[in-house]
């Protein structure tokens, strides 16, 4: 069901619109421009019905603020007005409004205009998606498929980007010791291990290797307070790097404010250690991936990471290209999940991943 935000200072108008729209759409309401802008920090609707004449902040001013924010600039807007002057309509259309609805409302006209605008927006998104996919496929073909033979130097350079990983539920201390010895031999970026082994690794190997661990792993639905505690405990025990899983439910509920708040809280708990944010791309739409790139950047994380390796799919080349287009300049990329061959390792390294999560490191250098 499409989500509409209606902004109008009249309670009567809001009630009238609710009777017409709620059988067909999810409807949220705001009684002022300021309320609407606050709402948009938490949720992104499919369409905004915006009253033109409101006290304190009129519709033009609200629309201007919406269009200045890259996260909300693309939301289609229909103005609601009792003003039938052509000058008002012309100004609104020049600012980017999709249509005007004149009050008092007529149910059939309102529903028809809303349906038309939403159909146009769906067509626009589909065309844009097809164009982006064509571009990505061209990039992938040019950047990845063009080269299959790699020098030893190129392979070793990629190996040094690996977080050498052992996160199986039944991992024993013997498994962890083998992992650490391989990491030191191959000079991988770190070992990525369960939190319960951090202190023992630090005690056994000192500063001979970097220790990465996972927080909220693998499903991400622990509370923010629990993730903060896990992070503080991991750092106290000797972790150098933290890979946290976001709450996918918050993403699906469009509670991006909670996602950002959680990442920021874990960032603070890291006490300067490296933070990588696992977004689990296999469960996300393209719009959600783009929004998370922006949130990970804003929250101050060091890396955005594709996957836990426990979801329905792992790292994909097209997601790396999408990340590169949407993360901030100080955010790096970690690919993880399903990277089991030398060819896959090199593909992600060539796409620009600064870290790669893998457990088959020994196989890459044979």
Q: Is 243 a catalytic site residue? A: yes
Compute CA distances 317 → 322, 344, 352, whole Å. 9, 9, 10
| Helix (H), strand (E), coil (C) string for the chain | CCEEEEECCCHHHHHHHHHHHCCCCEEEEECCHHHHHHHHCCCCCCEEEEECCCCCCCHHHHHHHHHHCCCCCCCCEEEEECCCCHHHHHHHHHHCCCEEEECCCCHHHHHHHHHHHHHHHHHHHHHHHHHHHHHHHHHHHHHHHCCCCCCHHHHHHHHCCEEEECCCCCCCHHHHHHHHHHHHHHCCCEEEECHHHHHHHHHHHCCCCCEEEEECCCCCCCCHHHHHHHHHHHHHHCCCEEEEECCHHHHHCCCHHHHHHHHHHHHHHCCCCEEEEECCHHHCCHHHHHHHHHHHHHHCCCEEECCCCCCCCCCCHHHHHHHHHHCCCCCEEEEECCCCCHHHHHHHHHCCCCEEEECCHHHHCC
Q: Is 334 a catalytic residue?
A: yes
Single out the catalytic residue among 250, 305, 316, 319: 305
The active-site residue, picked from 243, 250, 302, 319, is: 243
Q: Which of 103, 276, 316, 334 is catalytic?
A: 334
Where in the sequence numbering do the catalytic residues fall? 243, 305, 334
């Amino acid at each position: 069901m499409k989500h509409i935000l209606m902004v109008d200072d009249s309670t009567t108008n809001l009630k009238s619109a609710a009777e017409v729209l709620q059988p067909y759409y999810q409807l949220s309401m705001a009684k002022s421009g300021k309320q609407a802008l606050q709402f948009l920090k938490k949720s992104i609707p499919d369409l905004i019905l915006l009253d033109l004449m409101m006290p304190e902040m009129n519709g033009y001013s609200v629309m201007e603020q919406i269009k200045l924010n890259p996260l909300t600039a693309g939301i289609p807007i229909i103005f609601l007005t009792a003003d039938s002057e052509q000058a008002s309509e012309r100004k609104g259309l020049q600012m980017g409004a999709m249509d005007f609805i004149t009050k008092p409302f007529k149910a059939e006209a309102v529903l028809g205009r809303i349906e038309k605008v939403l159909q146009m927006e769906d067509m626009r998104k589909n065309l844009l998606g097809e164009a982006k996919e064509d571009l990505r496929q061209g990039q992938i073909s040019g950047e990845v498929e063009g080269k299959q033979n790699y020098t030893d130097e190129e392979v070793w350079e990629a190996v040094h980007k690996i977080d050498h990983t052992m996160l199986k539920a039944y991992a024993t201390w013997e498994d962890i010791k083998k992992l650490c010895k391989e990491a030191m031999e191959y000079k991988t970026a770190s070992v990525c291990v369960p939190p319960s082994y951090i202190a023992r690794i630090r005690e056994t190997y000192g500063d001979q290797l970097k220790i990465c661990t996972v927080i909220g792993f693998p499903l991400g639905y622990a509370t923010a307070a629990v993730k903060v505690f896990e992070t503080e405990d991991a750092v106290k025990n000797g972790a150098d790097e933290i890979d946290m899983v976001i709450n996918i439910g918050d993403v699906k509920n469009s509670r991006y404010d909670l996602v950002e708040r959680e990442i920021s809280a874990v960032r603070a708990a890291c006490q300067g250690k490296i933070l990588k944010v696992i977004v689990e791309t296999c469960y996300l739409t393209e719009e959600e991936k783009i929004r998370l790139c922006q949130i990970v950047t804003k929250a101050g994380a060091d890396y955005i990471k594709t996957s836990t390796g426990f979801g329905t799919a792992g790292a994909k080349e097209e997601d790396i290209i999408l990340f590169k287009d949407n993360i901030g300049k100080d955010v790096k990329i970690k690919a993880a999940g399903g990277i089991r061959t030398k060819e896959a390792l090199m593909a992600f390294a060539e796409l620009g991943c600064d870290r790669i999560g893998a457990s088959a490191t020994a196989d890459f250098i044979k």
